[in-house]
Chains A and B, each alone.
Chain A
Amino acid sequence: MTDPARARLPQRSLLTDPVVRAVIIQIAVFALVAGVLAFAAVNTAENLKRAGIASGFGFFNQVAGFDVSQSLVEYSRASTYGRVFLVGLLNTLLVSSVSIVVATVLGFAVGLLRLSGNWLVSRMAAVYVEILRNVPLLLQILFWYIAILNPLPGPRQAMSLFDTIFLCNRGLIIPWPVFLPGSWLVLVAFLLALAGGAGLVLWARRRQRLTGKRFPAYVSSLGLIILLPLVALAAAGFPIRWDLPELSGFNFAGGLTLQPEFTALVLALSLYTAAFIAENVRAGIEAVDKGQIEAAHSLGLRPAPTMRLVVVPQALRVIIPPLTSQHLTLVKNSSLAVVIGYPDLVSVFAGTTLNQTGQAVEIIAITMLVYLTISLAISLFMNWYNARVAILER
């Protein structure tokens, strides 16, 4: 009694065999993508030939012939494009790392204030977050640079804080330490204090294991790290001094001048990113179950150790991954430097260098590669961290 329709079902057919289907689909998609890429490549080659642009990386050794306003390494008009690349890369890393530190500190502070039981303070933190993260970063960069820093008066009418920090249209001028001979003594003292502090912590742990008695190891080693270098400083006759900015003629002498571009970029990047970090911090701490705190309290732990031993370790697991991705975003966002002429990688390399040489393909590829490398490095760190702290479950 076989149903004729059922009998007609094939044992195997090319069209309904899942493996065959999968292979066909994959070949088709691959061919399509490869085709588009090949088409683009052929056209690019032809267009470049017509425009008379020689491809390759020879331009790295040519003389750039333009000035760069800020450089961590020696640079002049006579330097090569290769040097320009290095200058841009270092400037990108500089502005990113300074902003990351500021944004993280500020973000944690705002996030914690947001959770505070104080109604006014928590509302103010909320207002900060809602205003800063809902306005485009580019707009904020332009605001700080064009609307706030640029219209500032010249050095002679500079705004000052206790006559040590000055703000004017040349930028932010801050005191900077100078190291005279004899500074090594302070450095040695600092290193000794570090080692001593570490030893103290280890000793306190050991004593705690054996006797249960506790010693305020962290506080005392912090004291050691602060005091010992100070003592050394006095003993060596103060070889490290602050170089205070001072008005001389039409500009400031001494101190360290942070250019307005740099200042505006750091301000905008860190204030903007801090708003997002604050939300991550808040979410991370709120993610810790209230029962955890109650359990710790019911065991007799006071609020401070409860925070340190129970809440923070759990909250950090939630906070670190989005925090890292905020840092990554900040590095990528630092490329907006181009709009205010801060000489970062995109501005001097993918901007000026590209315009002068016309090597669009090579330059954009290298620029993207740099950012990809940074992203990849941060992602690898993230994966390692996540695997290390993952909470084991059944």
Chain B
Amino acid sequence: MYVKRERSPSLPPPRSEAGVVGWLRANLFSSWPNALMTLAGLALLLYSLPPFLKWAVIDANWLGDSREGCLPPLGDAAGACWVFIKVRLGLLMYGFYPEAERWRIDLAGILLAAAGGQLVAGSLLRAATGRGRRLTGLFPLAGVLLSLALFGILPGLVACAYLAAPDILARARPGRLLLGLAHRPQLHLAARLGLAAGAGAALALGFGAAGQGLAVALSLLAASLIFIALGAYGQSAASVRFSLLLGVYPVICYALLLGGGLDLPLVDTDNWGGLFLTLVIAGVGIATSLPVGILLALGRRSRMPVIKALSVSFIEFIRGVPLISVLFMASVMLPLTLPAGMHVNKLLRALVGVSLFYSAYMAEVVRGGLQAIPRGQYEAAEALGLRYWRVMRLVILPQALRLVIPGITNTFLGLLKDTTLVAVINLMDILGILKSALADTRWLGFTKEAYVFAGVVFWVICFGLSRYSMLLEKRLKPGRN
């Protein structure tokens, strides 16, 4: 028999296990092959990194605004010529959007950054205290102040209205009134739809009579605003913000960026370009391919043979061919399929191609999520008396989509990177601009700078997004409060 009466204290580990030496031994030099690998790695680093840094930073030329800034008397020919990029930064960001009108893109960007930033910060600080929540309020505040300072009173007011709307609507009366009148959800929805459509139609007629080019956009804006406003009461401000971002922001952007009325000169999409165009295509692409993808995924799992067959053949067809052939089809064949005299804008064609292509990939991602939901969830939801669409919308899809966040992000990153392919059908995205810039006889030979710059831009966006999605995935793990 043995009994120990006193407890022994915890001791620190022996010296060789801890500290820098211990770490080096364990991680870099634990064995002979390991040490060799370390040395090989170091050699590769020393061989590649210093020359690159010397070219890109140390010997690089930043000053001046002409080619001379990069040549011997003024600059160093051995270094990168970032002047080349600096001179064209505007083109690379905005394309041929008139310089006087570029503030419209900036305003759209600020609105997105403020509303989106608040949502993103909110999603990461979900469990945060009141202080964290107040911090997220800094985004809209900064957005409004920035718009006021940069663009003047009117744009500032628009920004203020848009950014403050969620908090106001979430507490506003009209929604509550309607809820009281029609407390059955179906009636409520019908009333919202009806009122919104009515207002939209009335406005369209009124504006149309006034001959405004923006008529459709503004009527749409009013209709979606009314629809969201009437349903907003009792919702959280974040969810209203999300609906506004999906339903109202695109219409604002459409009106603001295209213009053609309200003192906003028309800027044809032929002049859109640069990173701005890339983001437009990526934004429209994700906003259409996700919902269409969800429908296709549901269709593929449907018990109705016709629906299933149609969905499967669409998905498999699209996934079997390269995007470039779909883009060719959209740019060459789509005009052929329309009645004579009907034209489709080049950008719209690219958008249709990209969205259709990626909706097939989204469908497969979503299907993976749907398959991962256990049968019991469907059964439990049906046992509660929910019909098909309710089961999907309220029980299955929220879980399934949460499961496939990594897949959705990957697909979106693929989409973002593949927007570069529109350069092949002659749209002026960042690569298109670079191509024309490299053909400029005054600036021949700065190809490395051009592609390294574009690469860095894409890398920052894609890497940032993938890290955000990893964070979000961690936050949303089921079973976490």
- Spell out A's residues near B (CB within 8 Å): 22, 25-27, 29-30, 33, 39-41, 43-44, 46-48, 50, 116-121, 124, 130-131, 134-140, 142-143, 146-148, 150-151, 332-333, 335-336, 338-339, 346, 350, 354, 360-361, 364, 367-368, 371-372, 374-376
Once A136-B418, A136-B420, A151-B445 are accepted as A-B contacts, the answer to whether A121 and B38 lie under 8 Å apart by CB is yes
Residue B319 at the chain A interface, CB threshold 8 Å = yes
**A41 cross-chain contacts in B, Cβ below 8 A:** 337
CB of A143 within 8 A of CB of B451, answer yes
Taken residue by residue from 188 to 222, chain B's Cβ proximity to chain A (1 for < 8 Å, 0 otherwise) reads as 00000000000000000000000000000000000
Pick the contact of B336: A43, A335, A354 (CB < 8 A).
Answer: A43
| 15 A-B pairs whose Cβ atoms sit less than 8 Å apart in the complex | A29-B310, A44-B333, A117-B27, A124-B45, A137-B417, A138-B431, A139-B454, A143-B448, A332-B322, A335-B325, A346-B328, A364-B328, A371-B321, A372-B321, A374-B320
**B424 cross-chain contacts in A, Cβ below 8 A:** 338-339
- Spell out B's residues near A (CB within 8 Å): 27-28, 30, 34, 37-38, 40-42, 44-45, 303-307, 310, 317, 319-325, 328-329, 332-333, 336-340, 413, 417-418, 420-421, 423-424, 431, 438, 445, 447-448, 450-452, 454-455, 458-459, 462-463, 466
**A338 cross-chain contacts in B, Cβ below 8 A:** 324, 424
CB of A139 within 8 A of CB of B325, answer no
Which B-chain residue is minimally distant from A50 (CB atoms)? Answer: B340
**A48 cross-chain contacts in B, Cβ below 8 A:** 336
**A50 cross-chain contacts in B, Cβ below 8 A:** 340
CB of A118 within 8 A of CB of B459, answer no
**A137 cross-chain contacts in B, Cβ below 8 A:** 417
**A333 cross-chain contacts in B, Cβ below 8 A:** 322
CB of A124 within 8 A of CB of B459, answer no
Pick the contact of B310: A30, A138, A139, A146 (CB < 8 A).
Answer: A30
**B41 cross-chain contacts in A, Cβ below 8 A:** 118, 120-121, 124
CB of B337 within 8 A of CB of A139, answer no
| Complexed CA–CA distance, A40 and B305 (Å) | 25
CB of B413 within 8 A of CB of A134, answer yes
Pick the contact of B421: A29, A336, A364, A368 (CB < 8 A).
Answer: A336
CB of B336 within 8 A of CB of A139, answer no
CB of B417 within 8 A of CB of A136, answer yes
Which B-chain residue is minimally distant from A325 (CB atoms)? Answer: B319
Once A139-B455, A364-B328 are accepted as A-B contacts, the answer to whether A26 and B304 lie under 8 Å apart by CB is yes
**B44 cross-chain contacts in A, Cβ below 8 A:** 124
CB of A367 within 8 A of CB of B420, answer no
| Complexed CA–CA distance, A119 and B448 (Å) | 31
CB of A147 within 8 A of CB of B448, answer yes
**A372 cross-chain contacts in B, Cβ below 8 A:** 317, 320-321
Pick the contact of A335: B322, B329, B462 (CB < 8 A).
Answer: B322
Chain A contact residues: over half helix, strand or loop, or mixed?
helix
| Complexed CA–CA distance, A119 and B25 (Å) | 11
Which A-chain residue is minimally distant from B303 (CB atoms)? Answer: A22
CB of B320 within 8 A of CB of A371, answer yes
Which A-chain residue is minimally distant from B465 (CB atoms)? Answer: A134
| Complexed CA–CA distance, A130 and B329 (Å) | 33
Once A47-B336, A120-B42 are accepted as A-B contacts, the answer to whether A25 and B325 lie under 8 Å apart by CB is no
Which A-chain residue is minimally distant from B323 (CB atoms)? Answer: A332
CB of A118 within 8 A of CB of B423, answer no
A110 to chain B, nearest CB (A): 13
Once A118-B38, A143-B451, A146-B451 are accepted as A-B contacts, the answer to whether A26 and B306 lie under 8 Å apart by CB is yes
**B34 cross-chain contacts in A, Cβ below 8 A:** 117-118
**B38 cross-chain contacts in A, Cβ below 8 A:** 118, 120-121
A350 to chain B, nearest CB (A): 6
CB of B459 within 8 A of CB of A147, answer no
**A40 cross-chain contacts in B, Cβ below 8 A:** 337
| Complexed CA–CA distance, A354 and B38 (Å) | 53
A106 to chain B, nearest CB (A): 14
CB of A360 within 8 A of CB of B336, answer yes
CB of B325 within 8 A of CB of A368, answer yes
- Which of A30, A134, A150 gathers most chain B CB within 10 Å? A134
